[in-house]
Structure 1
Amino acid sequence: MRLADGRTVPDLRLDAAAVARCRELADRITAPVIGFVERHTTVSIERAVLRLFGFHGAGSRGVPFVNLIVDELHARGLVGRGAAWWLGWAMRQGARDPLQVAERIAALPRDPPPLPAEEDEALRAEMRREARAAAAELRARVERRDALKAELGAGPLPHKYLIVASGNIHDDVEQGRAAAQAGADVIAVIRSTAQSLLDYVPHGATTEGYGGTYATQENFRIMREALDAESRKLGRYVHLTNYSSGLCMSEIAIAAAWERLDMLLNDAMYGILFRDINMKRTLCDQHFSRRICAFAGILINTGEDNYITTADADEAAHTVVASHFVNESFAHRAGLPDALIGLGHSFEIDPAREDTVARELAQALLVRTLFPDAPIKYMPPTKHKQGDIFFSHAYDTMADVVSWLTGQHIQLLGMMTEAMHNPFLMDRYVALKTADYVYRAWRSLGGELQLRPGGAVERRAAETLGKALGLLEEVADEGLFQAIGKARFGDVARAEDGGKGLEGVVPRDDDYFNPFLEILEGAA
C-alpha cells in the first residue's frame, strides 16, 4: 500500500464487508449520542462562546470573567438560552466590558421578563455580526500559522513527537527549543496533573505544576512564539500540541486555536474512563471542541492507547480498533476531515511473551490499513517499562521499527527513563538519534516485504478486526452510554449519571442561541 507521502507499507488483506459493517455500526452508535448533544449545552460550551467573543481575561482574584458570567447564569437557570443571548442583553443594558457584563447578569432576577419580539430579533442580528467578525479574526490567525508552515515546510514523516513537562512554561520553552534543534518535529507540552478536573482555565503564565505545565492561553502564546522563532532559525516548521480534554475541553480548544496550535489531544473517552468525568458532559463538550478544531485546522489526537494501559494489550486490541471507528464517526459528525483525525494506538504487549513484534505489527498495520488517510499517532511502550534503562531503550527502538514499517504519521518517541523522572535533554537526544537511525536503516523495506497469506500477521489482524466488529455490534445494540457502564473499553466502568461535571449539562431552551455554532456548522 502506497501512502500519500510516498512511503510504501506491506499490503494487508482484510474483509471489505467487515470493514464496511464496522463503519455502519459506528455511525449507529454515534447517532443517538449526537442527538443528545444537539439538545443540550454545557457551562464549558457557553464559556467557550464568551471566549470567542474576546473574553480572555480574569477578575481581580484571578477568576476568569467567563466563569463569573456563566456561573451567574447557571445559578438562575438561564444558561439554556445561551450565553451569547445574555451577552447581547447586557450590552443593551449599557455594559461595555467583561466586568460590567458580569455585574448586569448578577443583577438579573430569577425569571427575567422576555424582550419584545422585534428587540429580540435585533439583539440576535447584532450578536451574529459580532460573531462573524470574531470568527474572521480567528481565521486570520489560523492562516498566519498555515502561511509559516507553508513557507518553511515540515520535517518528513513520521513526525518525531517529544514531550516537555517541567511545570514552568519558561523552562518548557528552553527544553522545547533544545528538542527542536536536535530534530524534533512536534513539541507536546504535558498538562499539569489533574488539570482536567478543574472547571475553569487558569489565567496567565504559570511557573509551577506537578507532572506538567498548566494549559493556559498565555502559556500557549509563549510557547508558540518561541517555536515560531526557532522554526525560522532551523528553516523548518516545528509543531506545537497540548491537551483539550477534561471539564474545560471546549475552552482550551478556543485558546489553542487563537494561539495557533497545530494539534490537540482531544478525546472524551479518556476523560470518562480515566478521570471519571461524566459521559454526558464530556461528549457534549467534545463535539463543540471538535467543531472548533475543524474550523481552525487543528489535528486531534485520540486516546485509545490508554485503553491498553489498564487492560491487557494483547487481549484488548480489538477494543482499540472498535473505538477508532467510533471516534472517526464522532469526528466526521463534527466536520473533521480524515486528515485531521489523529487516531492513537501504542506498542504495549508484554515483552515477556513470544512473537510480540509480529502481533504489534499486525495491530499497527491493521489500523493504518483501516484508516489510510488518518494521521495515526503511534505511542511507545510505557506499561512494561523497567528501571533497566538499556532494556528500556531497546524496547523503544522496536516501537520505532514497527512505526516505520507500518507507515505511521506521528511517532511519540520513548524515553529510556520513562516513569523514573522527567526526561533529561540527553534522554531526548538519544531517542531522536535512534529514531533517525531506524528510519534510515529501514528506509525501503516497507516496499520490499510481503506478508505471507494466512500467516501470523494476517491471521492476527483478521482476528482483531472480527472481535472489533463483534464489540461494535454489542455497543450498537445497547448504546454507548450503557456500554461504557459495562466496562467495554479499557476495563473501566462508569455510570451514565455519575462522575464529575454532570451538573454543568443543561437542556437547550427552544430559543437557544449560539451564533458561533451556526458558523461552525456552516463551515463544516
Structure 2
Amino acid sequence: MVRRARELAVRAGRPVVDLARSHTTVAVERAALRLAGLSGADAEGIPWANRLVDAVRDQVGLEHGVALPVWHALRTGPSRDLTELAARATARDVSFRLPEGAAAEHAVRDARHAMAGGLAVIDGRRRERRRLIGEWGEPRGPLVYLIVATGDIHEDVRQAVAAARGGADVIAVIRSTGQSLLDYVPHGATREGYAGTYATQENFRLMRAALDEVSSQLGRYVRLTNYASGLCMPEIAVLAGLERLDMMLNDSMYGILFRDINPLRTFVDQRFSRQLHARAGIVINTGEDNYLTTADAMQAAHTVTASQLLNEYFGKEAGLTDAQLGLGHAFEIDPDLPDSFRMELAHALLARELFPDAPLKWMPPTRHMTGDVFRGYLLNGFFNLAGALTRQNILLVGMMTEAVVTPFLSDRDLALQNVRYVMDAAGALEEDFRPAPGGVIARRADTVLREAVDLLEGLDGRGLLDAIAAGTFGGMRRPADGGRGRDGVAERAPGYRNPAIELLEGSPDPGPEGEDRP
C-alpha cells in the first residue's frame, strides 16, 4: 500500500513539475539576478532586482529569461555592473533586446560566470555549517524548535539568544504578517513588523551572527529558520543560502491554500527554491500542520499524509535528500475526544514509518488551546511525550499562552522546562514502545493510509490542480487561474535561458547525502 501511495503521488505531481519546467516567473528571474550579485534598493526602497526585471519584462518580455538581455546590455552598453544597469533601466536609459548567435552565447557565458560565483558562496556557507557543527557539536535527541517574533530584529536577537541559553536548538523568526504577499523583498534591518519580523538579507545576517556567538559559548550549534514562501520564495531561498540559514519553511501548497497565491506561480517558484535549498544543504519544513487548523484533525488526517507524499516527490525531484525533508504534521485532535492521545500516536507513528529517514517536524496543539494555561501546559506535555514515543526529529515548543498573548520570555522558559523534563524522563522510550498488532493505534494508522491512497487515486483521475480547486486540502478552494501573482508568470519560449537553473541541474551536490542531517 505504501508503494502504491508513492506511485500515485508521482503520477499526481509529475504534470505539475512539467508545468514548472515550462514556465518562469518574475521571482525566479529576480532570484537569478540576486545569485549573480545584484543587491540593494533604490531611494524608494524598491530592490534593484525588481527594477531590472520589470524593465526587461516591459521591453522584451520574460519568455526568454532575463539573462540574455541583461548580460547583452552589460557587454554592449556603458553600465559597469548590474546595479548601475538597474539604475539606468529605472531611468529608462537602457534599450534591452534579445541577442542572437554569438552575442547570445557571450551573454549566457557571462551570466553563468556571475551566477556560479553566487553558488560558490552558498557552497562555502554549507561547508562552514559542517565545520561549525563538527567544532561545536549538536544535540543527540530531537531538535527543540522555538519561535521569536517581535517585529524588531534587534529585540528578536536578544530573545533568540535567551532562548538558546534556555535550551532551544532551532530559532525560527516568524515573518511579519502580509510579507508573503509582497512582490519584493524589503531591504536592510527592520524594526517594525506586525506579529513578526520582515525577512531581509540583513536581518538574516544579524541573527546568524548572534546565534553563532552564543553557539560558540554553549558548545552547541544553534540552527536558524525563516520562511521561503509567498511571492518571493526563490529570492528568499537565495538570501538564506548566502547567509547560512539552516532550515526554511517551504511547502508546495501552503501559499496557494492559505495566502491565495496563484497555483502555477507557487509551483514554479517552489521548484527553483527547493533546488537552491538542496544546493545549500538547507532542511525544508513543510506545512501540513496548517490543514488541521482549518479542518478536523480526525477527518482530514489522510490529507496530511497525501500532502506529505506529494511534498516528498516534489522535494526529491528538485534534488532534496531524505535528510532535508522536514515533513510537517501536528498534534491537533480534539482533546475531549475519547482515545485522543492514542489517535495522535497513530498519526505520528504513521508519519515516522512512511518517512523513516526524514527529519519530521512535529507541531504542538494550537486549535484546541482555550486560554486555560494549566490545561495548555498539560496538553503540551502530552505532545512532547508523543514526540518522544515516535521519534520526531524537530519538536516545536508548545506555549501554554497560545491563543492568549504573544508569549513572554518567562512563558518560553516554562515551555522549555516542559520539553526538557519529558525528554529526559522518557529517554529512549521509543525502543520499548510497540503498539499491539491489530490494536486501536494500528487500526487507525491503517485507516488513514488507506484514505490517503483513495485520495491520491482520485487525483490520478482529475489532476492535482483540479483537486486544489475543489478544496481537497485544508478545505480551501483555489482555482488554477486565480490567486495573487498570476501576472508574474510567463511560459518559456524555445530559446529560454537561465544559467542558474542550468547550473543547479547540471552539477552534483557538493557533499554526500546525510552530512547535513539535523
Mapped to 1, the partners of 2:98 and 2:191 lie a distance apart of 47
1:261 paired residue number: 245
Tell me the secondary structure at the aligned position of residue 57 of structure 1.
coil
Contact 2:68 2:99 in 1 (8 A): no
1:37 paired residue number: 20
Of residues 137, 151, 155 in structure 2, which corresponds to 1:153? 137
After TM superposition, give the deviation of residue 512 of structure 1 in Å. 1.0
Mapped to 2, the partners of 1:338 and 1:202 lie a distance apart of 32
1:12 paired residue number: none
Contact 2:306 2:456 in 1 (8 A): yes
Q: C-alpha root-mean-square deviation of aligned residues, in Å? A: 1.2
Matches within 5 A, 1:114-125: 114-125=98-109
After TM superposition, give the deviation of residue 113 of structure 1 in Å. 5.5
1:428 paired residue number: 412
2:37 paired residue number: 54
Mapped to 1, the partners of 2:404 and 2:70 lie a distance apart of 49
Q: Are the structure 2 counterparts of residues 89 and 427 from structure 1 closer, same or farther at C-alpha, using a change threshold of 3 Å?
A: same
Tell me the secondary structure at the aligned position of residue 191 of structure 2.
coil
2:162 paired residue number: 178
After TM superposition, give the deviation of residue 32 of structure 1 in Å. 0.6
Query: Structure 1 segments of 4 or more deviating over 6 A?
Result: none
2:47 paired residue number: 64
1:470 paired residue number: 454
1:479 paired residue number: 463
Superposed CA offset, 1:138-168 (max 9, x none): 2112212221122111112211000001100
Of residues 189, 192, 198 in structure 2, which corresponds to 1:208? 192
Of residues 124, 128, 135 in structure 2, which corresponds to 1:140? 124
Contact 1:295 1:523 in 2 (8 A): no
1:230 aligns with 2:214: yes
Matches within 5 A, 1:310-329: 310-329=294-313
Superposed CA offset, 1:110-132 (max 9, x none): xx665351222222222222222
1:244 aligns with 2:210: no
Which stretch of the first structure deviates more once superposed, 151-160 or 313-322?
151-160
After TM superposition, give the deviation of residue 246 of structure 1 in Å. 0.3
Between Structure 1 and Structure 2, how many residues are aligned?
A: 505
Which stretch of the first structure deviates more once superposed, 69-78 or 360-369?
69-78
2:350 paired residue number: 366
Mapped to 2, the partners of 1:413 and 1:138 lie a distance apart of 30
Contact 2:398 2:415 in 1 (8 A): yes
1:74 aligns with 2:57: yes
After TM superposition, give the deviation of residue 61 of structure 1 in Å. 1.6
After TM superposition, give the deviation of residue 107 of structure 1 in Å. 4.1
Superposed CA offset, 1:423-453 (max 9, x none): 1111111111111111121113322222111
Mapped to 2, the partners of 1:43 and 1:200 lie a distance apart of 10
Mapped to 2, the partners of 1:119 and 1:306 lie a distance apart of 49
1:384 paired residue number: 368
Contact 1:245 1:271 in 2 (8 A): yes
After TM superposition, give the deviation of residue 104 of structure 1 in Å. 5.0
Tell me the secondary structure at the aligned position of residue 76 of structure 1.
helix
1:23 aligns with 2:1: no
1:189 paired residue number: 173
Mapped to 1, the partners of 2:292 and 2:122 lie a distance apart of 37
2:336 paired residue number: 352
Letter in 2 for 1:350: D
Tell me the secondary structure at the aligned position of residue 253 of structure 2.
helix
Mapped to 2, the partners of 1:473 and 1:245 lie a distance apart of 28
Mapped to 2, the partners of 1:202 and 1:391 lie a distance apart of 40
Which stretch of the first structure deviates more once superposed, 228-237 or 73-82?
73-82
Mapped to 1, the partners of 2:182 and 2:199 lie a distance apart of 11
Which stretch of the first structure deviates more once superposed, 323-332 or 123-132?
123-132
Mapped to 1, the partners of 2:85 and 2:103 lie a distance apart of 19
Letter in 1 for 2:478: R
Q: Are the structure 2 counterparts of residues 290 and 377 from structure 1 closer, same or farther at C-alpha, using a change threshold of 3 Å?
A: same
Mapped to 1, the partners of 2:499 and 2:425 lie a distance apart of 53
Which stretch of the first structure deviates more once superposed, 137-146 or 400-409?
137-146
Matches within 5 A, 1:322-337: 322-337=306-321
Mapped to 2, the partners of 1:309 and 1:491 lie a distance apart of 10
Contact 2:143 2:170 in 1 (8 A): yes
Mapped to 2, the partners of 1:141 and 1:269 lie a distance apart of 28
Mapped to 2, the partners of 1:169 and 1:403 lie a distance apart of 31
1:398 aligns with 2:382: yes
Which stretch of the first structure deviates more once superposed, 135-144 or 502-511?
135-144
Mapped to 1, the partners of 2:81 and 2:226 lie a distance apart of 30
Letter in 2 for 1:50: L
Which stretch of the first structure deviates more once superposed, 437-446 or 363-372?
437-446
After TM superposition, give the deviation of residue 76 of structure 1 in Å. 2.7
Is there any run of 5+ residues in structure 1 with no aligned partner, and where?
1-17
Contact 2:388 2:429 in 1 (8 A): no
Is there any run of 5+ residues in structure 2 with no aligned partner, and where?
509-518
Mapped to 2, the partners of 1:128 and 1:385 lie a distance apart of 51
Letter in 2 for 1:522: G
Q: Are the structure 2 counterparts of residues 156 and 509 from structure 1 closer, same or farther at C-alpha, using a change threshold of 3 Å?
A: same
Contact 2:68 2:98 in 1 (8 A): no
2:146 paired residue number: 162
1:442 paired residue number: 426
- TM-score, normalising length: structure 1: 0.94
Q: Are the structure 2 counterparts of residues 97 and 468 from structure 1 closer, same or farther at C-alpha, using a change threshold of 3 Å?
A: same
Which stretch of the first structure deviates more once superposed, 59-68 or 79-88?
79-88
After TM superposition, give the deviation of residue 419 of structure 1 in Å. 2.1
1:490 aligns with 2:489: no
Which stretch of the first structure deviates more once superposed, 139-148 or 29-38?
139-148
Which stretch of the first structure deviates more once superposed, 261-270 or 121-130?
121-130
Letter in 2 for 1:214: Y
Contact 2:175 2:195 in 1 (8 A): yes
Mapped to 2, the partners of 1:274 and 1:476 lie a distance apart of 24
Contact 1:142 1:258 in 2 (8 A): no
2:515 paired residue number: none
Tell me the secondary structure at the aligned position of residue 506 of structure 1.
strand
Contact 1:67 1:200 in 2 (8 A): yes
Tell me the secondary structure at the aligned position of residue 201 of structure 1.
coil
After TM superposition, give the deviation of residue 259 of structure 1 in Å. 0.4
Q: Are the structure 2 counterparts of residues 21 and 264 from structure 1 closer, same or farther at C-alpha, using a change threshold of 3 Å?
A: same
2:512 paired residue number: none
Mapped to 1, the partners of 2:71 and 2:456 lie a distance apart of 45
1:309 aligns with 2:293: yes
After TM superposition, give the deviation of residue 313 of structure 1 in Å. 0.4
Letter in 1 for 2:51: L
After TM superposition, give the deviation of residue 274 of structure 1 in Å. 0.5
1:274 paired residue number: 258
Mapped to 2, the partners of 1:312 and 1:97 lie a distance apart of 54
